Chain A
Amino acid sequence: MAVKTLTIDGRLVSAMEGQTVLEAAQEAGIHIPTLCHLDGVSDLGACRMCLVELGNSPKLQPACVLKVAEGMEVRTNSDRLRKYRKMIVELLLSERNHVCSVCVSNGHCELQDMAVELGVDHSRFDYIYPVERVDITHQRFGVDHNRCILCGRCVRVCDEVEGAHTWDMAGRGAKSFVITDMNQPWGDSTSCTSCGKCVQACPTGAIFQKGATVGEMQKDRTRLEFIVTAREKKQWIG
């Protein structure tokens, strides 16, 4: 495989052909904010946090799906990008009922971390206050749609790593929501293996382990990485 050299924020970086700009940046220690990206599962380019500027092109590209190319000139942290990222976080915070003070993931939430990182201390936009459901029919886990940012990580991890495809997306637009099986209560799902990968994959407190109270729900991504790496390297075979 050929090696490509590119510039990211003025730094020369080398990457393998086929790698994404996000991977190249991460390897070079350059931080690009992400929300819907999760190591080990496919990328969607949906949250638009990782948008980067390319050379003289006015078009922004998501770093998570953009493949490296020779001589590429990437800027990850311009004023324009920071402004857009901030607005995206503000939009996410106003879209549903994200009340950190009563959230199981308070202090361990990627959305909250992102807001802190980008200096979002309030949203300029109207809070929508939609009426969302909470499904706690599953024996061990629960899903609170108030805190869901529709990143689709649970859908992908369940489909691609666990192979169960219990989760899916229903509805459209702002009325989209994640469902289990054919929009049945999670507890009645016949495909769910109760593996808990969705719990670990969820960036916020939307999918949580029962019994956790405010701030107690810590997600352990290393468990997912462990499974994905073991599968890729065939560590469980022979």
Chain B
Amino acid sequence: MDSNELMEIKEAQIASAKPIRLRCCLAAGCLYSEGEAIKEALENALEEEGLTDQVEVLGVGCMGLCSEGPLVQVDPDGILYEKVKPSDARSIVAALKGGKATAKIGDLSHPFFTKQVPVVLENSGKVDPERIETYIARDGYQALNTVINELHPSQVVEEVTKSGLRGRGGAGYRTGLKWELVAKTPGDRKYVVCNADEGDPGAFMDRSVLESDPHRVLEGMAIAAYAVGANQGYIYVRGEYPLCIKRLQIAIRQARNLGLLGSAVFDTSFNFRVDLRIGAGAFVCGEETALMASIEGRRGTPRPRPPFPAESGLWNSPTLINNVETYANIPLIIRKGAAWFSSMGTERSKGTKVFSLAGKVKHTGLIEVPMGTPLRVIVNEMAGGAPDGGKVKAVYTGGLSGGCIPAEKLDTPVDYESLVQIGAIMGSGGMIVMDETDNMVDLAHFFMEFCVDESCGKCVPCRAGTVQIYRLLDRILNGMGEDGDIAKLQELSEMVKSCSLCGLGQSAPNPVVSTLRYYRNEYIECIHKNPKRNGNKNAVKAAK
């Protein structure tokens, strides 16, 4: 494979495209709501109408508006059909010839679409994730070609550093600096690892990227490998994402067959092999040291850092670990330049961020906005606010390790620093919106139950501390709380936060701390419901 061959594939793919294209979403959400059947029905309808020479049906990845799925979009007319059923296929095809479609037509001028800036999701919903040619047709693998043939590894690192990209897994460590550390650490063998063990409740960004545009992540990883001097990569993907696994396997095979991965990439001396490692359902394996232990075939538990993976990672070799979304940013940074990338976002948080919207909003799904976009724009404008006339009460960002943001603070811009200031974190990008009917003690209770279940059990504060926090919350929630329980909760939370071994343990009490910070009165209300408090012995009996 060389640049000419790459261009040939691109041109052939573009030339083969038919004038009218029906794009069917085949990412998990739509796929499992008859997405495949819709695609087939559309193909059959085209056949019947004899339109197959002008119109084609494409299976693509996520188009974002998951709550209205299954989605079908018509190019170049720019019509989006929502909640499509296989029985709508005939009318959709008829509409191409001027008829009227029975499926609901979506509003593409809604802020949900217009306020988005697709970088990571550039190809999402446009390319067929199972056909590498469609990715190449949209300039795929050109960044890798440029990097290998024109740039020195140190120049690649410099470009990433200049872009100001920060880790999208949650902590926001500067990506360029991480790459530089791994590149400069001496070692015969180095590894590049992609963390696709997305486990936070309400987070589905990585899943969507991998299901919609897997080659983008592979290209990002290959560029990283070239920059740091690695020739082996691992993608650690959770076992609960079978479609990601399937599409990654297909993508790796196709890229290898074209000489874009494996030995002699682009006919140079650069080799890069990528293997999948499937997680077995442990949340803690998203923590980098636990993840590496799991790749090595050991029990997936974290270990103290330092040494950091950049110094001593997989099999004690220097290892670069980045999140899916971080790698997915790389190809475009190389193609469009660091200056272009850093022109988006805020002073200290550059670029865009993908968020998954879930909970009590009209439009749930996936969006990508520039860093610094106020939460209000995301929640009220783009997601359309609470459904059924409800009122948004709070937004929970950052998954388990994050925190809740009350409605009064919705003007906070989403960037790493601002969110930390108000007691939440950017995290990987899950946003769960709650309305006035949601009880915050219940929310903390839910998250803590998750923590108890997912604690690996290695260190005492997380293993035993979360159990005690959960029991306190359980008591309070069920009207059995007592005075002093809140103080106990705070004391325990502080200890678990300060003493736990890994990031997950250290952030496990966050849901409690942040709900206590803004909704302490709800805890007090729950405690006041304790019948014992009110001196009513009969009520105590009844409560038992």
Contact = CB atoms under 8 A, between A and B. Distances in A.
B282 interface: yes
B528 interface: no
B184 interface: no
Given A44-B303, A173-B453, A174-B467, A124 B488 contact: yes
Nearest to A177: B457
Interface stretch (A25-33, A46-54, A136-144): A46-54
A183 B491 CA distance: 37
Contacts of B501: 45-46, 48, 62
A23 interface: no
Given A45-B303, A84-B499, A87-B495, A174 B460 contact: no
Contact of A87 (B282, B303, B455, B492): B492
B456 interface: yes
A150 B498 CA distance: 20
B110 interface: no
B409 interface: no
A94 to B, nearest CB: 7
A92 to B, nearest CB: 6
B36 to A, nearest CB: 36
Given A92-B464, A150-B463, A172-B457, A48 B499 contact: yes
B468 A126 contact: yes
A175 interface: yes
Interface in B255-310: 282, 284, 299, 303-304
A88 B463 CA distance: 11
A216 B151 CA distance: 71
Contact of B458 (A46, A88, A124): A46
A88 B455 CA distance: 16
B452 interface: yes
Interface in A68-115: 80, 83-84, 87-88, 91-92, 94-95
Nearest to A35: B460
Interface string B440-470: 0000000000001111111111011111100
Given A60-B499, A87-B495, A172 B456 contact: yes
B473 to A, nearest CB: 12
A126 B488 CA distance: 12
B457 A174 contact: yes
Interface string A176-198: 10000000000000000000000
A230 to B, nearest CB: 28
A162 to B, nearest CB: 19
A174 B453 CA distance: 8
A94 B499 contact: no
A95 B457 CA distance: 12
Given A46-B501, A51-B499, A124-B488, A173 B461 contact: no
A226 interface: no
Nearest to B494: A84
A143 to B, nearest CB: 17
A45 B304 contact: yes
A16 interface: no
Interface string A33-65: 000000000001111100100000000111001
B471 interface: yes
Given A45-B304, A88-B461, A124-B488, A173 B499 contact: no
B385 to A, nearest CB: 38
Contact of A84 (B282, B467, B471, B495): B495
Given A84-B495, A173-B453, A91 B471 contact: no
A53 to B, nearest CB: 10
B498 A46 contact: no
A129 interface: no
A172 B499 contact: no
A173 B452 contact: yes
Given A48-B500, A51-B499, A173-B453, A62 B304 contact: yes
A94 B468 CA distance: 9
Contacts of A149: 460
Nearest to B281: A172
Contacts of A126: 468, 471
B468 A125 contact: yes
A176 B468 contact: no
A47 B467 contact: no
Contacts of A61: 304
A190 B472 CA distance: 44
Interface in B465-514: 465-468, 471, 488, 491-492, 495, 498-501
A44 B467 contact: no
A84 B457 contact: no
Nearest to B505: A48
B508 to A, nearest CB: 11
A173 B498 contact: no
Contact of A176 (B304, B463, B465, B471): B463
A173 B463 contact: yes
Contacts of A83: 495
Nearest to B498: A60
Contacts of B458: 44, 46, 150, 152
A45 B500 CA distance: 10
Contacts of B460: 46-48, 88, 91-92, 149
A174 B500 CA distance: 14
B455 A172 contact: yes
A119 interface: no
A60 B501 CA distance: 10
B457 to A, nearest CB: 4
Contacts of B495: 83-84, 87-88
Contacts of B303: 44-45
A238 interface: no
A95 to B, nearest CB: 5
A128 B468 CA distance: 9
A95 B467 contact: yes
A171 interface: yes
A181 B500 CA distance: 29
A151 to B, nearest CB: 9
A206 B182 CA distance: 43
B436 to A, nearest CB: 33
Specify which of A51, A80, A174 lies most central, judged by the most chain B CB atoms within 10 Å of its CB. Answer: A174
A169 B301 CA distance: 11
Contacts of B471: 126
Given A48-B500, A65-B304, A176-B457, 5 more contacts: A44-B303, A91-B460, A95-B464, A173-B454, A174-B455
4 closest residue pairs by CB, A with B: A176-B457, A91-B464, A173-B455, A45-B304
21 contacts: A45-B303, A46-B458, A46-B501, A47-B460, A48-B501, A61-B304, A84-B498, A88-B499, A91-B465, A91-B468, A92-B464, A95-B464, A125-B468, A152-B458, A171-B457, A172-B282, A173-B452, A173-B457, A174-B455, A175-B457, A176-B456
